[in-house]
Amino acid sequence: MATETKGAESAGMPQLEFSTFPNQIFWLVVALIVIYFILSRVVIPRISAVLAERSGAITNDLAAAEDLKQKAVEAEQAYNQALADARAEAQKISAETRAEIQKDLDKAIAKADAEIAAKAAESEAAITEIRAGATDSIKQVAKDTAKELVAALGGKADAKSVTAAINARMKG
């Protein structure tokens, strides 16, 4: 058993045995050199190519975005100009329409004023005629009433004196 125990003790961790250090160091250096060559010749050029491609794409995208931004600004300016032109045109059309409507309104008002003036003249003539007829009727009624009153009071009135008295009273 003593030999088995000694074999178990010597079987410990082989990487910590000093007798295998030169061999382990050799393979470590070989592995590191192989990894270095693989990384420097294959992996790093691919990564740098991808990074360069991304950088170029980002630069191109930024340039395209700047161009699109400039085009958007120009489109906005064109839109604002078109909007201002449309507003000016609408105001012009509105002013022309107002002027036409005002002209038609002025014609209609002038026609209405002329009709009102004609009707007023007709009405004045009719009123004057009615007044003249009413004055004559009042004179006639006044003559008849005066004759009847004088007769009722026991006097006799001649037509000339009654007419003269009524005319004098009507004048003022």
> Is 16 inside any structural domain?
no
> Is 47 inside any structural domain?
yes
The tokens for 95 are: 């002013």
Residue-level pLDDT, tens digit, the chain, 172 residues: 445 545 445 567 777 888 888 988 999 999 999 999 999 999 999 999 999 999 999 999 999 999 999 999 999 999 999 999 999 999 999 999 999 999 999 999 999 999 999 999 999 999 998 888 888 888 888 888 887 888 787 777 777 777 888 888 777 6
> Is 159 inside any structural domain?
yes
DSSP state letters, 11-78: TS-GGG-GGGHHHHHHHHHHHHHHHHHHIIIIIHHHHHHHHHHHHHHHHHHHHHHHHHHHHHHHHHHH
- 150 contacts 165 by C-beta, under 8 angstroms: no
> Is 21 inside any structural domain?
no
Q: Domain tally for the chain?
A: 1
> Is 6 inside any structural domain?
no
Task: Give the side-chain half-sphere CA count within 13 A for 61.
Answer: 6
> Residue 53: what pLDDT?
95
> Is 7 inside any structural domain?
no
> Is 30 inside any structural domain?
no
> Residue 11: what pLDDT?
64
> Residue 1: what pLDDT?
47
List, in order, residues 6 or more apart from 157 with CB less than 8 Å away. Answer: 146, 147, 150, 151
The whole-angstrom distance between residue 22's C-alpha and the CA centroid of its chain comes to 88
> Is 128 inside any structural domain?
yes
Which domain range does residue 88 map to?
37-171
Q: Does the pTM of the predicted model rise above 0.85?
A: no
Q: State the Cα torsion 75-76-78-79 to the nearest 10°.
A: 120
